[in-house]
Chains A and B, each alone.
Chain A
Amino acid sequence: MERLKEIINRGVLPGDDICIIEEFMPGIGSFSKNGVVRAAWIGVTAADLNTRTVHVKPVHKFPQLPERNSVVIGVVVLVKDEYAVIKIFEDLKGNRYLNGFTGVLHISQASDTHVKDLYEVIRVGDVVKAKVLNNNPPYNITIREPKLGVVLAFCGNCGSVLRKAGSNMLKCPKCGRMEKRKLSLDYGRV
């Protein structure tokens, strides 16, 4: 128990030794080399006695990358017959990605019902809320949930912001044009 107090709650920098591998296995933010467990980033050490691992709670804001199952906001930059490319800018936890990441939406992930044409689901310039399916770029994303989908769209005629007019239908308040989208329940709330 004395030794445990020495190991945990200690501020560490990259390369600082935490303990030896017989005491604890390296967890997140740590690694082992030659039998010594060391910190990989700046943070405070903590131990998990069930799995007998130590990890380093980072002082930085993590993650800096989108992760599996995180909900993100992006802008559609390209729509093809079977897939669309979306530039991801931030996630709902408030992490802003400096340069954005590329997300790919396949037609099979666009809606629960049969989709004849991806252009009836999203269009270039739409702001979408989507869920990430994998852990590294290029990210595969889905909008097959009621909360996910287009949250902001612009009229293809005059460019003004479209208003919701029934389920998955949008109407332009200026020129009266009707457009089809897969809408999020949060449409208009960005």
Chain B
Amino acid sequence: MGGKGEKPKLILEDGRRHDGRAFDELRKIKMQVGVLKNANGSAYVEFGKTRVVAAVYGPREPTLRHVVSPYRAVLRCRYHMAPFSTDDRKSPAPSRREIELSKVIRESLEPVVMTELYPRTSIDVFMEVISADGGTRTTSITAASLALADAGIPMKDLVAAVAVGKVDGVLVLDIDQVEDNWGEADMPVAATPALDEITLLQLNGTLTKDEFREGLELALKGIKEIYRMQKETLKSKYLQVEE
């Protein structure tokens, strides 16, 4: 990934981005819930060319006895990229990056899932990246929270996530692979809009204080939009007669 060939022009003369989006425009988003028959809950989320399937199993009896807690359910997350998801084949073995992202995603979901209601059980979330084009962790979080809601697991809010980047000195929303490779900064943010809490904040690269504030604002704006779409998706499946 990355570092190949010449640096493309990321911001065109008319102020648009290399793929024609405005600086605060999200990619084309598609969401679907209940896509897998055998899982308790599942979701498919597409951000442009980034596609993720998430599945939730549980609360169920934990397969690993030593991880159980007598006070709450354990939330276990697995983020995995399919071998065919990237340009060069990716080894199917979980890489260092995937193990870390699994942990980061788990920690971004833990504040909303009401695990204390199901002691001595485990809730397992599996996220499979089918096609990767930047922003896979944020797409995975968005899909995982939809799948959790689809499974009927009590949660305080839905989590939505998006990344903000700096490319050619301009702050842009929802960066893709090209912008991630050639940009100066990448900042994934996950938040729970109704509770007004940020559950994930990472920053790769450098931003000034002011850029950081502006970027966070931009991300939260994007998250509100994604959150609205998540709710619409769940509503159209479960609460159609209503309103």
Contact = CB atoms under 8 A, between A and B. Distances in A.
Contact of B235 (A13, A41, A97, A98): A13
B59 A38 contact: no
B11 interface: no
B61 A15 contact: no
Contacts of B242: 10-11, 44
A137 B121 contact: yes
Query: What's the dominant secondary structure at chain A's contact region?
Result: loop
Interface string A86-121: 000000000001111110000000000000000000
A75 to B, nearest CB: 15
A14 B155 CA distance: 6
Interface in A55-107: 58-62, 64-65, 97-102
B157 interface: yes
B119 interface: yes
A98 B156 contact: no
Interface string A1-35: 00000000011011111000000000001010100
B64 interface: no
A17 B155 CA distance: 13
Interface in B114-157: 114, 118-121, 149, 151-157
Contacts of B152: 41-42, 58-62, 64
Interface residues of B, number: 32
Interface in B142-174: 149, 151-158
A176 interface: no
A59 to B, nearest CB: 5
A136 interface: yes
Chain A interface size band reads: 20 to 34
A137 B120 contact: yes
Nearest to B62: A137
Contact of B234 (A42, A99, A102): A42
Query: What's the dominant secondary structure at chain B's contact region?
Result: loop
Interface in B181-209: 192-195
A14 B158 contact: yes
Contacts of A61: 152
B14 interface: no
A11 B61 contact: no
A41 B61 CA distance: 21
B239 A59 contact: yes
A146 interface: no
A10 B157 CA distance: 17
Contacts of B85: none
Nearest to A59: B238
Contacts of A188: none
A99 B242 CA distance: 34
A173 interface: no
A13 B234 contact: yes
B91 to A, nearest CB: 29
Contacts of A44: 239, 242
B40 interface: yes
Nearest to A60: B152
A138 interface: yes
Given A136-B120, A137-B121, A42 B60 contact: no
Given A13-B235, A41-B152, A42-B152, A31 B59 contact: no
B23 interface: no
B231 interface: yes
B243 interface: yes
Question: Which 5 pairs of residues, A with B, have the shortest CB-CB distance?
Answer: A15-B157, A60-B152, A11-B239, A15-B194, A11-B242
14 contacts: A11-B242, A13-B231, A14-B149, A15-B192, A17-B194, A42-B149, A59-B238, A59-B239, A61-B152, A64-B40, A64-B152, A98-B38, A101-B61, A136-B119
